Every structure is written in C-alpha cells, then in structure tokens.
Structure 1
Amino acid sequence: MTEPSFTTIENQWITLKDGTRLAARIWMPHGAESDPVPAVFEFLPYRKRDGTSPRDESTYPVFAAAGIAGVRVDIRGSGESSGVIDGEYTELELANARELIGWIAAQPWSNGSVGMMGISWGGFNCLQVAALKPPALKAVISIASTVDRYNDDIHYKNGCHLSAQLSWAATMLGYQSRSPDPAIVGDDWRDMWLQRLKQEPFFMEEWLEHQRRDDYWRHGSICENFAEFDVPAMVIAGWADGYRNTPLKAIEGLGDKAKALIGPWVHKYPHLAWPKPRADFHGEAIAWWNRWLRGEENGAENLPSVRAYILDAIKPATRRDFDPGFWIAKRKWQQPDLQCFYVEQFGTLTEGMPIPHAPEHPVYLRSPLDTGTASGEWFTLKPDAELAIDQRVDEAGSLTFQTAPLTEDHDYLGRPLVTLALRCDAETTNLCARLVDIHPDGTATRVSFGLLNLAHRNGNVTPEPMSKGERTTVNLVLDACGYRFRKGHRLRLSLSTAYWPMVLPPPQDPGLTIDITSICLGLPLLGAHELIDVKQPDNPDPLPKYIEQSPSLTKRQVVRDLSAGITRYEIQEDTGLFEHPVTGLSTRQLREETWSIAPDDPLSMSGISTWTCDMQRPGWFVRTVATSSIACTEKDWIISASVIAYEGETEIFQKIFEEKRITRDLM
C-alpha cells in the first residue's frame, strides 16, 4: 500500500484573542514546513469529530495529496470547541472566521493564501466572510448556499413562513446540545457539556422576532452589496435542493467574479450527491484552488459563466438514483427571453400573451389547507420521498391550466414568472404557483414552484395589507429550473392557496378570486448554449466505511383521520448507530416530527420535532433529547422547546424554554 503524502492532525487547538479555544482537524501535505502550501478552510457547527467526518474524509485527503492543506474548524460551542454558539452567521462568528484566516496565513507551513469553502452553513459563511475582505482570503467555493438570507433560506419565502424554520431550529437545538468528545478535551468534557446545555439558545425565538426583511436578514446577505465582493467564487447547487436559485443570482450580481455549476442534486457535495450524474468536485476544486491560491495558469478563470444540467422529462419515484438529462454551458449569462403562455377562455394554457382588455373571467380558489403533502422537504438530503412526489394528489386542491400536447421539445433555464390579477377579502393570504410536467400517462412532475404572501407583493421590507375585494395585479417569480418538456407532454400551471406542510397557513383562509384571463406564464428559454461534458468523479463510492452497529431508517407518511377531520404528516429519520473505525466513537441521531392541520381551519396547525442524539464508547454513553414545537392563534405564533440530557441511564440536566407568544406580522 502506498504511504499517504500527508499527515492528519486529529486535533489542533487554536486560541482566539478572546481566549476561546477552537478545535481544528488539519490535513497537512508532507514537506509544507520547507515548501509552504495554500490552505482551504471550512468553519461549521456540525462537529468535525463525528458529524461531518465522513465527507471531510472523502475530500481533504485528496486536497492534501495535491499539496493543499485542509483546515476544518468547529464553531464555538460545537464539537470540541469551547464556548457557546450565539446564533447563525453572527458578527462574532464572522469575526472569528477572519481571525482564523489570519492564523492560517501566518503559519510557517502556509504560503499566505487561503481559500474558504463549505456546503449549507459553510457555503453561507464563506460568501459572507469573503465580503468582509480578509487580506489572505483569495477564493471561495460555496455549495447549497444563499446570497439572500430572507428569501432563499429555511425561514421565509416572499413572506411565507416555512415549516423548515421549526425543523431547523429543532435540529440545531439537538446538534448543539451534544457533548464534546472526552478523548479530545479530557476531564473537562462534562463541564463544557453542561455549559452548552445551560446557555445554548433556541434559534426559533430570534427568527420569529424578524418576520420582515429587516437588518437582521440583510446582515450576511451579500446581495445587499455585490460590489463589495471581490474574490473569485465558484457557486454550486442542485435542482433537487432548496438552494437552487443561488448560482444564477450570484452570476447576475457578481458577474465575472463568479462561476455557476448546477446539477440534478440534493443538498450534498457534487461528488457524492444524488440523483446522479455526479460531478468531479475534487478535480474542479483543486483546479480552482491552484489558480487562485497558487497562481497556476490553468484557465479556471475562463470557465463558462454557467454550467447546468438540463433535466429531461424526469419522473417522480420513491427513489431517484439517476435523472436523465444533458449538460450545457453558457459562456456569458444573460437574462433569458421569456416564452409566454396565457389562459384562453376555455381554460387551456396557450402560447402567446393575454388578450388585452379581455372580459374578466373570475374563478374562486380556496384550497384545502392540507394541499401540499406531495411537496417534499424544502431542502433535501436524500433522493427519496424528501423530493416532490407525483403532484396529482395536490392538483385536486388547486386551480390548474394545461397546454395541449406539445408538438416539439421545449427547453428552459432560469426563473419562470407568473403574472395575474386577483381579489382577496382579507388583508393577506398565501399563493403558491407550480410549473408541472404532465407525462403522457398522466404522471405529474413538479419542475418549479413559487410562493407569495400577498402582503409582500411589493416587497418584503414593509408589507402592505390587501385592499379587500380590490382587483390587484401581482407578479410571482418561481424558483430557477433547468428542464426539457418533451414532445407529447403537457405543460401545466397549478395555483393553490395552501402548500402544507412546507408552508404554514396565514391566520385567515379567505381564498382568492383569480381573473383567469389575466394569467401570463413566462418561461425562460434555454437559448444559445453549448453541449458539454462534466467529468464524473473517478471514485464512484467516495465516502469512508464506518462500522454499522444498527441500521438506518427513513419513514414518511400522510395520515388523514377522516373521523376527526385532521391530516398529519409524519417523519421518522434514524441515522443508525455507526462507529468510527479509528476513534471508536459511535453516534446516532433520531428525528421524529409531526405536523397536523384540519383542512378547513388555519388555526388548528401545529408542529412538533424531537431530536434524540446518542454518543458512546465502551463504558461511556451520553444522550440528549431536544423537542421543539409551534402552534398559533390568529394573532400569535406559540413556540416552546426543551432539552434533556442523560449520562448513562441518569438524567443529569433538563431545560425548558417556556412557551412564548410572538405576534404574527401579516402572516
């Protein structure tokens, strides 16, 4: 067996100026002390020792073998790092990141050039840190991230309240309650753990205090000032994930400073993501780092502005391992031309513009509040029922318009736009629009969707109540998509006033009266492009193998209690118990989540999410159980949470976040 050309430093303490000691794992190329190397830095709360170790071990050794050091650091209060986390992307977090970049650049093994990368949290903060211009940061790779924290994250979308906000608050409460590893921190582990348990925040409280796009969300949203961002950025996302808008938004805002890559993937790195085909992330990243951290003239700056995988008439399935399609490149991204469709008098979606001054044709729409159970998760980790399934179950509660069978293939890339006129008899309600591919056998694939709280129709900073009964024209931009509708298929536009459980209902359920003759659907034409190949990874199975002690489990179901008039959406996710073969640490996380609603009562909505997190070695076992819940009245959101910790079979800590009522703000 060939000896590795690098050394793995399992734990490196880095002490910040304020005395906080952060834990780092470093992959160091041999000879770096005499021939300094560039470094790639990733800064997360997801625990390098166990949480992200599989993906770290799939990537950083490859970087190190290519002569690039990897520095993976846990945010304060996470993993083995001391202190307590204070929120998402806070001033303190970003200041710590800048300090860490300075520390890396000053090491004798560093050539002074640092790159920063990550997916999700790490993808967010690498863009945010780059906007602050630390001198040593020369390039970033941001995966499944956002440039707009208000409209393209798990909290709100055009003023609609996403259920993922509770799910993520519960996740972070569970994740942050976990113990540091005694094998790293020694006898202080229990004191560190108890400090976390006592002081960790319940993020949901802060998020609900900011229901509009205020300074809280503008902080860390680089779209607020793209001009201040001046380092090269590769921005990557997948069509099957919630963060699909970011690459195109980054290109539009950053111009030649950014390069976009969009595949068919869920919320995973491209070299290990589903559905396939995957991309050779390692090769892409090494070339990027060598260009910007070493000055190697390898042409990385000449990559096309946009490389995208165009999905080709895919079908929903219980598991999507591979999505048919083709790769295209656009050398220079421009706003696409729109192909327009209107609804003619008999309800058929027809190419062309709406007839000017056509007589109003009002249709009343009030979707059952459990419309949306086929929507899947907002951001997805597995290519199963987390993805949107066959849409026919949701179409029953929607207003739908479709074309005749297409006479030729239609190719699109970009963000669809729906314009329509409507009337509402309340201050606001929600509107969901979906672009759907109807296959010849009737199967319905969701291609794109958009959400709008009507009070946010003119912006998210200062919502405006609807004037009751007054005709109002609204524009609804759907999420980006890259898709081929095949000859013989039909294009469908579906409208609903509910999309539960993805979207929580507004306080009233008045329905909408929509003038169908006003509807205009604009679809972004693919336009001029090159057909390209995107290299797939050499290693088709890049994740390391851990020791399975109990298997994983995934279960989702919709239960309609016809007697009680209640619909429940139930989720059970069990990671299984797996042991790291080197550290001997075994971990397991169990998520149990239930959403409930009466289809005719928006105030009946409730959600509860519980995370059970286990860590163990022979003779040592700790567990935390974190529970978060939300309910509502017409005026308030009602939230509560709790954390219970066990050492062995003994309960050693309990914390109750008392029920809190937060005023609903036109939602």
Structure 2
Amino acid sequence: MKKLVFNIKDSGKRRIKTEFPRELKKLENIWIPMSDGAKLAAHIWLPVDAEVNPVPAILEYLPYRKNDFTAIRDSVRHPYFAGHGYASIRVDIRGAGDSDGILLDEYLKQEQDDALDVLSWIARQPWSTGGVGMIGKSWGGFNGLQVAARNHPALKTIITLCSTDDRYADDVHYRGGNLLASDMLWWASTMFAYNARPQDPAVVGDSWRENWLDRLENTPPFVEEWVRHQRRDEYWKHGSICEDYSDIQIPVFAVGGWQDGYTDSIFRLLEYLPKESKGLIGPWAHEYPEVATPEPAIGFLQEALRWYDHWLKGIDTGIMDEPKLISYIQESERPAVTYEERPGKWVADPSWPSPYVNSENWYPAKGSISKEVPQGDDILVPSVQEHGLYYGVFCPFGQPGDLPADQRLENGKAVVFTSAPLTEKLELLGHPIFHAELAANQEDALITVRLMDKAPTGESTLISYGMLNLTHRNSHEHPEKLEPGRKYKVEVKLDSLGQEIPAGHQLEIAVSPTYWPSAWPSPKPVDLTLYFGEATFMELPVRTPHEEDQDWGHFDAPETAQVMEREILRKEERTREISYNPIEGVWTIADFSDEGERRLPSNGIRHGSKNKNTWSIKENDPLSAYNRCEWELTLGRDDWNITLETDSEMWSDETKFYLVNKLTAYEGEKKVFHKTWKAGIDRDHV
C-alpha cells in the first residue's frame, strides 16, 4: 500500500528545526543518466560545503512526483538530513514525475536496475563520500529491500518502513491466498490515475505533451496482470526478498505500526536478515513515526540519524547496543473507528523469536474457549456474505473512519467462541495462529478467523484477524481443490499484534467462510464444519514482561524541518458509509476521500484529488460481489491545467473475473484522450 496522505500535525509536541549543524542548499531538477540513455529527475539537498567536505548520501526512490505530490512531505525530512551532514536525494522512478519513460508495473527489474545506476552516479559525485543509505515508506520501503538484495557496493544500509518481504502473501493483492477485494482494484485504480499524470512543462519543455500522450495510451491498468497471477508464481517471487534472505548482506532498520497493513514482515526480517538488523513497532498507521497517528509519535528522524551516523559515518551513537526489537504493547481500548492516542508501554526483546514470548493454547468448544481440551464434537459454520463490512480498511493511513467498529456488529454473522473473564492480564506480542480440523461442503472455500478483546461492558474490539483460502492449505504456489466432506487440518496465521488484555476481559474468537470485502467470495456459498478437540485451538504469543523493558523506548520528541509554504485551495474530506437495502437484500460500503487541493508557491503547481470507492454484495449470493473505484485528479498552473478521470470496475461469475478500466484526460476544457480496457480472466482456485 502506498497511498499519499500528508498527515503532519502542528502540535506543541513536535519541534520545528530551522537551524542545523550544516548550512544546506537545494539542487532542483537534477538529471541522473541511466545506462540505456534515459534520464531520471531528482531533487538534492546537501550541505553548502559538501564539495569541500564530502558527505554520505540518503536516497529516497519513488513514483510519487517530487515536484508536487510529495513535495510537502519531502520538505520536512530531506532538509533535516542535509542539515545534519548528508546529501539527501529524492528521485522519481522511470515513468513517474519528470523522469523519462512509462511505468509498466510495480517493482520491475528495470526499477531495480535504474536504482543501481543512481547509486553509481551518487558515488561518483564530488560531494559524495561514496557511501549511501536508502530510506522509504511503502513503495520506497519495498524497493529499498529489493535494491539491497542486488548488493551494490555503495549501498551500506537501508531504513525500510511499512514494507514487505513477500509480494504475494503480504501486500494489497492477495492475503492468505484470497484475492484482497478491499484493496486490489482500489490500489490498481490509484496507480492507473497516478501514472496518467504528465511531466512538468516548466522542467522538460514542450516534449511533455508527447510523453503524456504516450503514458496515457501505453500505461496499462495494473490490475489485469495482478488478477492473471492468482497463485504464488514467478511473477510474485520477483521482488520478494523472502525467496532468499541471504541476498541481503547489509544491516536493515525495519519500522512499522500496529495499525499499518505491513507490520508482519518486521518479524520475518529480524529473524532472517543480517544480525545487525533492528526493528521498531509503534501504535502507528501507514506513516513516518515523527508525524504518525495515533500518538505517541516519536523523534524518528533523530533515530534515523543515529542509525545512519553509525553505518555511514562510523560514529558510535549507541544504537547498536540497543535491543533487536523495540515495540509498543497497547493497552485495551474500547472499539473506535479512529484513535488519536493509544495508551501503552514500550518493551524490548533481545532477539526474534524472543525468549520472553511463549505459546499458550486456547481451545474452542460450543460457545466457549478455554485452556482445556474439549471432548470431540463439531459445529456448522455457515456462509453470511455480508460478514466483514465493519472491519475498516486493510491499511489505515490515519484518516477518520479507517479502523474496525465494535465487533458486535459482525459477531451475529459468524460463529463466536468466548472465554470466561480472565483472572489475570495477558500480554501478547507476535502472531496468533488458529489451528483447525475442518471440512467444507464445496471444493473452493475460505476461512476467516477474528480475535477480539471483549470488555466487561460488552464492547468487542478486534485485535487481530487472518484468512486462508483452503485450496492453498498446503501451498500458495500449488493450490488443490477440496474434497467436500473430507476432514483437513489447517493453520491460519493471524496478523501480528502487541496487545494487553486486562483481567476481567474476555477473549473472543469468530470463525466464518466469508469476509467481504477483504476476501473475494468463493464461487458458491460454503458451509464449514469445525471439529473440536486437540487439533483445533488458538495459539497465542504470550509475552512475559521483563524488568529491562523500562530501560528502552525513551524517544526524543518528534522533530522535523520546517514544512514548506502551501496554499490550501480545498480542504480534505472523508466519509465512509455502510448501507442496507432490505428490499433487494444488498449491503453497500461507500467510501469517499477528497484529499483536498493545494498550491505550492515555490513552483506555482496546483494539485488535488478525489476518490470514491464502492463495494456491494447481495445476501446469499457470492456472485453479486461488485467493486467500483473512481478517481479525479487535477494538476496545473495558471496557464496549464490537466484533469484526469478514471473509472474501474470488477465483478465475477463462477469461472471468471471481469475488469473494466476507463481513463479520460483533459487539457483545460478539451478532452484529449479516452480509452476503455476490458478483460475476462479465469478464476484459479480463488
């Protein structure tokens, strides 16, 4: 997930730095030559005396347009690094912003090859010591890992935030072998609109129009390729560094938050990457920790400097004396779709897996959960197609309404097991795993498992969930149809968590064969039979508090450079509504996000966007599932105005997925482009 929401709060808790140890300058629209003759566009912030006293470099490498769309967020971070003695470099990847070419898909080999050329170019500059670190959130975090695996000699370390090592199992496309209906089309539609934006004529000159028309005609809707690859094949293995962790031989600082959609990868990275690697997990959404919500935000830029100073300047900052993983255990909170703050505590683990975390098994029986193994019995788990509407969004960005609502709204649509009130608190850190013995009445089926904290007053807070396409029970690469009625033993790995459950609260586990719109429904309604006994249990990662926990997590207050001047032309707005038509039996989620419109006085650019997403489904009819995503983007100056409109739709029958993508472009009031892409793609065990 890589949506751009700049969510910096003007808070007394955040310090704005206007003076730095090194005086700095900004070099705008620098061209970096590629080995094939193409050019990538960059901004560079560096100390004014860097050619006399060369500095290491920090590279951020993104498709999100340095001149406008990320200009505000870049202004608080890159000058900060430069003022502390680094060349901080922001590059638009090929096909994005002012850079040459067309962006044909995510994370292509070409993107990595270009990054190697960028690294070589940086190492040759007179202001460079030759040592480079990379930093990036989401897309930039992904490609930081991928480029690290290519072992360029100039790249000494990376900081990766909100990213993944596994492009198939742990991104916006598929989860647990299920097509992620909440995000696959939405993210593809986002890039469909983003990729259609032109170069800046003030930078590239009259050639912008020819390049723009080329991008409009030849940039594909990514979703078609993503849906063509419904299993873990070579397409997804490319760029997934989990295929061979040993490819990365430099230290990695992996950072994320419990509200983010990508936190699971941090645990794998710490387990398998070089021993010098470290992890940090806070309560945050998909954002940099110095500006993230919910609080507590931290002085992350100071932590980044400590990391880079150690690995790029050889300064002993003490960061390597600290524990492998510092994470935030959240206190219990009643359910809310938005949190401004999450009370909790920082804890430290010397390694991962941690010696302080052990498994504790809880066994469901009819209506209950306990640590006692029940006598053999079973229960029917029927399909309710509208189960899952109150989950919130897969990857929250800190916008209002992103989080799960009170799960009592969901629990009547699933089979729920509830423990007795806890006699002492539980602290959980890591992945819950649901082990199940089950059977299905169809050859294609899925299972969803939710884990909840039920308060004495009845509210039910979702703390983790997991999904598994049961045809992927043995392999995401080689799925196998189910034999209806046959018993299978499966494991469902739930999302990682750091959570306290107080004494007096109850654990709840909910099981269902549906979870719309997170999982695209199975072709036919499914009934599962869950068998109780030794083979069916929830394995919880229980952490024992340690006396040294109190020594860590004492971060400085958030600190940034001064945010650049900007003029707000239209304010942000977010609405998210769930509705029900009882006559038709149709449930609908309507999610609208107006990300506002801004003008940047520094270059005169005006940019804005609006996004409307709709998911609907009819009771008892999995083939009624429907998703539509619409975008409107504006970009321009007083004498140059671009409007882009996209409309993307997805639905299915028993054998195929259907996709329709439309793109319309205007220059001023004149329509200059319109095209429709249509595809029907066979379902492959999904």
Same-fold call, TM > 0.5? yes
Which amino acid counterpart does residue 88 of structure 2 have in structure 1?
G
Q: Which residue of structure 2 aligns with residue 30 of structure 1? A: 48
1:540 Cα offset (Å): 8.3
Q: Does 1:71 align with 2:89?
A: yes
Q: Deviations over 1:422-451 (max 9, x none)?
A: 111111211110110111221111111111
What is the distance in 2 between the residues matched to 1:542 and 1:481? 34
What is the distance in 2 between the residues matched to 1:333 and 1:528? 15
1:528 Cα offset (Å): 5.0
Kept in 2: contact 1:410–1:484 (CA 8 A)? yes
What is the distance in 1 between the residues matched to 2:278 and 2:311? 13
Q: Secondary structure at the match of 1:575?
A: strand
Q: Does 1:499 align with 2:515?
A: yes
Kept in 1: contact 2:513–2:526 (CA 8 A)? no
Q: Which of the numbers 611, 617, 625 marks the counterpart of 2:645?
A: 625
Alignment of 1:291-370 (within 5 A): 291-334=310-353, 336-344=357-365, 346-352=366-372, 354-355=373-374, 358-359=375-376, 361-370=377-386
Tell me the TM-score normalized by structure 2: 0.94
What is the distance in 1 between the residues matched to 2:538 and 2:154? 46
1:65 Cα offset (Å): 0.6
Kept in 1: contact 2:76–2:560 (CA 8 A)? no
Return closer, same or farther for 1:436/1:2 CA change in 2, 3 Å cut-off.
closer
Alignment of 1:566-577 (within 5 A): 566-577=586-597
Q: Secondary structure at the match of 2:588?
A: strand
Q: Which residue of structure 2 aligns with residue 461 of structure 1? A: 477
Kept in 2: contact 1:341–1:522 (CA 8 A)? yes
What is the distance in 2 between the residues matched to 1:391 and 1:588? 35
Tell me the TM-score normalized by structure 1: 0.97
Kept in 2: contact 1:427–1:666 (CA 8 A)? no
Kept in 1: contact 2:400–2:574 (CA 8 A)? no
Q: Does 1:521 align with 2:538?
A: yes
Q: Which residue of structure 2 aligns with residue 655 of structure 1? A: 675
What is the distance in 1 between the residues matched to 2:286 and 2:405? 17
Q: Which of the numbers 571, 578, 598 marks the counterpart of 2:598?
A: 578
Q: Does 1:19 align with 2:40?
A: no
1:370 Cα offset (Å): 1.0
Kept in 1: contact 2:250–2:274 (CA 8 A)? no
What is the distance in 1 between the residues matched to 2:239 and 2:558? 36
Q: Which residue of structure 2 aligns with residue 397 of structure 1? A: 413
Q: Which residue of structure 2 aligns with residue 117 of structure 1? A: 135
What is the distance in 1 between the residues matched to 2:367 and 2:153? 59
Kept in 1: contact 2:463–2:497 (CA 8 A)? yes
Q: Secondary structure at the match of 1:525?
A: strand
Q: Secondary structure at the match of 2:58?
A: strand
Kept in 1: contact 2:383–2:525 (CA 8 A)? no
What is the distance in 2 between the residues matched to 1:383 and 1:391? 20
Which amino acid counterpart does residue 453 of structure 1 have in structure 2?
N
Q: Secondary structure at the match of 1:217?
A: helix
What is the distance in 2 between the residues matched to 1:398 and 1:569? 19
Q: Which residue of structure 2 aligns with residue 167 of structure 1? A: 186
> Is there any run of 5+ residues in structure 1 with no aligned partner, and where?
none
What is the distance in 1 between the residues matched to 2:588 and 2:61? 37
Alignment of 1:371-390 (within 5 A): 371-390=387-406
What is the distance in 2 between the residues matched to 1:522 and 1:596? 34
Q: Secondary structure at the match of 1:101?
A: helix
> Is there any run of 5+ residues in structure 2 with no aligned partner, and where?
1-17
Which amino acid counterpart does residue 65 of structure 1 have in structure 2?
G
Kept in 1: contact 2:595–2:610 (CA 8 A)? yes
Q: Deviations over 1:13-54 (max 9, x none)?
A: 112121211110110112100111000111111111111112
Q: Which residue of structure 2 aligns with residue 59 of structure 1? A: 77
Range moving further from structure 2, 544-553 or 466-475: 544-553
Kept in 1: contact 2:452–2:461 (CA 8 A)? yes
Q: Does 1:588 align with 2:608?
A: yes
Q: Secondary structure at the match of 1:257?
A: coil
What is the distance in 2 between the residues matched to 1:243 and 1:542? 29
What is the distance in 1 between the residues matched to 2:399 and 2:597? 21
What is the distance in 2 between the residues matched to 1:64 and 1:430? 50
Q: Which of the numbers 617, 621, 630 marks the counterpart of 1:601?
A: 621
Return closer, same or farther for 1:663/1:229 CA change in 2, 3 Å cut-off.
same
1:337 Cα offset (Å): 1.3
Q: Secondary structure at the match of 2:132?
A: strand
Q: Which of the numbers 646, 649, 653 marks the counterpart of 2:666?
A: 646
Kept in 2: contact 1:636–1:663 (CA 8 A)? yes
Which amino acid counterpart does residue 489 of structure 2 have in structure 1?
T
Kept in 1: contact 2:251–2:274 (CA 8 A)? no
1:374 Cα offset (Å): 1.0
Kept in 1: contact 2:383–2:526 (CA 8 A)? no
Q: Which residue of structure 2 aligns with residue 442 of structure 1? A: 458
Q: Which residue of structure 1 aligns with residue 6 of structure 2? A: none
What is the distance in 2 between the residues matched to 1:483 and 1:2? 39
1:536 Cα offset (Å): 4.3
Kept in 2: contact 1:277–1:536 (CA 8 A)? no
Q: Deviations over 1:347-394 (max 9, x none)?
A: 321124x24xx33x2211123111111111111112421122211111
Q: Secondary structure at the match of 1:576?
A: strand
What is the distance in 1 between the residues matched to 2:335 and 2:32? 47
Return closer, same or farther for 1:272/1:37 CA change in 2, 3 Å cut-off.
same
Q: Does 1:80 align with 2:104?
A: no
1:81 Cα offset (Å): 0.8
Kept in 1: contact 2:302–2:556 (CA 8 A)? no
Which amino acid counterpart does residue 212 of structure 1 have in structure 2?
R
What is the distance in 1 between the residues matched to 2:650 and 2:557? 43
Q: Deviations over 1:180-202 (max 9, x none)?
A: 22222222221221111111111
1:519 Cα offset (Å): 2.6
Return closer, same or farther for 1:339/1:255 CA change in 2, 3 Å cut-off.
farther
Which amino acid counterpart does residue 387 of structure 2 have in structure 1?
T
Which amino acid counterpart does residue 72 of structure 1 have in structure 2?
R
Which amino acid counterpart does residue 647 of structure 1 have in structure 2?
E
Corresponding pairs, count: 661
Q: Deviations over 1:281-339 (max 9, x none)?
A: 11011111111111112233233111100110023224211011110011222253111
What is the distance in 2 between the residues matched to 1:339 and 1:333? 18
Kept in 1: contact 2:56–2:128 (CA 8 A)? yes
Give the ranges of 4+ consecutive aligned residues of structure 1 lying more than 3 Å apart after TM superposition. 1-4, 536-545
Which amino acid counterpart does residue 537 of structure 2 have in structure 1?
C
Q: Secondary structure at the match of 1:212?
A: coil
Kept in 2: contact 1:265–1:274 (CA 8 A)? yes
1:556 Cα offset (Å): 0.6
